[in-house]
Chain A
Amino acid sequence: GIQVEQSPPDLILQEGANSTLRCNFSDSVNNLQWFHQNPWGQLINLFYIPSGTKQNGRLSATTVATERYSLLYISSSQTTDSGVYFCAVETFSGGYNKLIFGAGTRLAVHP
Chain B
Amino acid sequence: ETGVTQTPRHLVMGMTNKKSLKCEQHLGHNAMYWYKQSAKKPLELMFVYNFKEQTENNSVPSRFSPECPNSSHLFLHLHTLQPEDSALYLCASSQDPRTSGKETQYFGPGTRLLVL
Q: Do these two chains interact?
A: yes
Partner of A92, one of B31, B42, B101: B101
Partner of B104, one of A45, A92, A95, A98: A45
Interface of A (DSSP majority class): strand
Q: How many pairs of A and B residues are in contact by the CB < 8 Å rule? A: 71
Number of interface residues of B (CB under 8 A): 28
Q: Find residues 62-116 in chain B having any chain A CB closer than 8 Å to their own CB.
A: 88, 90, 94, 97-101, 103-107, 109-110, 112
- Chain B residues near A48 (CB-CB < 8 A): 104
Range of interface residues on A (Cβ < 8 Å): 20 to 34
- Tell me the smallest distance from the CB of B7 to a CB of chain A, in Å: 14
- Chain B residues near A43 (CB-CB < 8 A): 90, 107, 110
B101 near A97 with CB under 8 A, answer yes
Name the CB-closest residue of B to A50: B101
Partner of A94, one of B31, B56, B90, B99: B56
Bound Cα distance A14, B105 (Å): 32
Indicate if B23 sits at the interface (CB-CB under 8 A).
no
| A interface residues (Cβ-Cβ under 8 A, vs B) | 4, 30-31, 33, 35, 40-45, 48, 50, 86, 88, 90, 92, 94-104
| B interface residues (Cβ-Cβ under 8 A, vs A) | 2, 31, 37, 40-43, 45, 48, 50, 55-56, 88, 90, 94, 97-101, 103-107, 109-110, 112
